[in-house]
Structure 1
Amino acid sequence: MRLRKKWWARPELEADPKVIVNPKEYKGKWSEVFGNNNPIYLELGCGRGQFAAINCKNNPNMNYIAIDLKDEVLVNALRRVNEEEVENIRLIPLNITFIEEIFDKDEISKIYINFCNPWPKDRHKKRRLTHSRFLEIYKGFLKNGGQIWFKTDDKELFDESQEYFKESGFDIEFLTYDLHKSDFKENIMTEYETKWTGMGMKIMFLTARLK
């Protein structure tokens, strides 16, 4: 469903110092933005912000950057973050295609990819956020030994992503086709996940570490 343009969203985002609308200016300087040397975790496609807000609240010694394309979506994430009164986060309105322009070598310790577009048609698969094309880009700023945590409800995407990770030099350390029945204890649910698991949908999940 296409989002209706909300002209008030961008001014609300720009008025909050937790939102970075000129992220290219901070490439290589994100620790300075947060004012500490805590590890920086990155969420690609944060949606309405439930996952980001809870993650920040649970991990005050972590810095968090959440990215989404649409102002109309990101403004809801900002409001959720402010409801939780967390400060260890910055939100960025950005097309993820340009992600390599805003982070420098070794700036990110962990990447979260939650329920990205599966792009099922063969001609579109290079657009997947887990595709080898993107994984090679992430390697430009993910620390050696850094992790990617990936969740999806699309089996084809999940199966093919495992091959992408292996091809790109990642070790898959944990993998399950039914996250909520696994022994993984650190899961934080997104809004999408909360809705669809309540209807019986299985969630697939893996963690992969850069060698």
Structure 2
Amino acid sequence: MRLRKKQWALPTLEKSPLVATDPLLYRGRWFSFFGREGPLHVEIGTGKGKFLNTLASLHPENLFLGIEMKPEALVYAVLKAEEIQPPVNIGFLLLNADRLEEVFEEGELTRIYLNFTDPWPKARHAKRRLTHPRYLEMYKKLLKPGGEIHLKTDHIAYFQYSLKTLSEAGFQLRHVTLDLHRSSYREENVMTEYEEKFWQQGVPVCRAEAFLP
């Protein structure tokens, strides 16, 4: 979905204490950004932030970072988070996923969420998929032993591709379903903005968890 440019988005992000405007300073020490320690969960492509903000409210024991490269989307996620009192366990980065190794140390992450990321369906664009082997090798470095990737998508071909690349990269799979909202996993599921639309339209959502043994 193409978002209209918003001149106020960047200034708003730069002023918010929830946005790490210089994330390289926190590499290996994200506890200092949050002011406390805890398992660090990252959503790549956080969009307007419904998913991550909900998780942060439900799980105050964890630390959550939302990564998004579009300021016009991220600003809404930040504004939602600022309504939480106090927003002690959520933060945001305006960042391209290619730069993850610049801002996180090896073994620093406990979980990565990939929710409805661009499937890039054309074969010539495969390297842009966030489950392409080049990204998976990076995730493997950043995740702790036993670290997890949680994947959701409405694109079945991308889902099948992702299961294959995850397995080939050494991840083990569990809780795999081609229709999340009709499965037993729906009870603990937190929806994204896109997912709510798919659910209302009856579009099946695929979900899987991958972990490092």
Q: TM-score range by the shorter chain?
A: over 0.9
| CA distance in structure 2 between the aligned counterparts of 1:172 and 1:24, rounded to whole angstroms | 32
The CA deviation at 1:47 is 0.7
Kindly report the root-mean-square deviation, in angstroms, between the aligned alpha carbons of the 2 structures: 1.1
Secondary structure in structure 1 of the residue aligned to 2:130? coil
Which position in structure 1 is the counterpart of 2:208?
A: 206
Which position in structure 2 is the counterpart of 1:19?
A: 19
| CA distance in structure 2 between the aligned counterparts of 1:106 and 1:192, rounded to whole angstroms | 30
TM superposition score normalised by structure 1: 0.97
Task: Extract unaligned runs of 5+ from structure 2.
Answer: none
Runs of 4+ in 1 over 3 A off after TM superposition: none
The CA deviation at 1:209 is 0.5
| CA distance in structure 1 between the aligned counterparts of 2:161 and 2:13, rounded to whole angstroms | 36
| CA distance in structure 2 between the aligned counterparts of 1:26 and 1:183, rounded to whole angstroms | 38
Which position in structure 2 is the counterpart of 1:126?
A: 127
The CA deviation at 1:22 is 1.2
Deviates more, 1:174-183 or 1:84-93: 84-93
Secondary structure in structure 2 of the residue aligned to 1:145? strand
The CA deviation at 1:18 is 0.7
What is the letter of the counterpart of residue 91 of structure 2? R
8 Å Cα contact 1:18/1:87 also seen in 2: no
Secondary structure in structure 2 of the residue aligned to 1:149? strand
Secondary structure in structure 1 of the residue aligned to 2:141? coil
Which position in structure 2 is the counterpart of 1:77?
A: 77
Which position in structure 1 is the counterpart of 2:195?
A: 193
The CA deviation at 1:180 is 0.7
| CA distance in structure 1 between the aligned counterparts of 2:89 and 2:178, rounded to whole angstroms | 32
8 Å Cα contact 1:120/1:157 also seen in 2: yes
What is the letter of the counterpart of residue 136 of structure 1? E
8 Å Cα contact 2:34/2:88 also seen in 1: no
The CA deviation at 1:133 is 1.1
The CA deviation at 1:83 is 2.4
The CA deviation at 1:165 is 0.5
Which position in structure 1 is the counterpart of 2:182?
A: 181
Deviations 1:134-155 (A, max 9, x none): 0101111110101100000000
| CA distance in structure 2 between the aligned counterparts of 1:37 and 1:26, rounded to whole angstroms | 13
| CA distance in structure 2 between the aligned counterparts of 1:83 and 1:196, rounded to whole angstroms | 26
8 Å Cα contact 1:52/1:81 also seen in 2: no
Secondary structure in structure 1 of the residue aligned to 2:80? helix
What is the letter of the counterpart of residue 105 of structure 1? E
Deviates more, 1:132-141 or 1:30-39: 30-39
TM superposition score normalised by structure 2: 0.96
- Quote the sequence identity (%): 43
Deviations 1:49-101 (A, max 9, x none): 10011000000010000010011110000111122333211100011111111
| CA distance in structure 2 between the aligned counterparts of 1:12 and 1:37, rounded to whole angstroms | 27
8 Å Cα contact 1:149/1:205 also seen in 2: yes
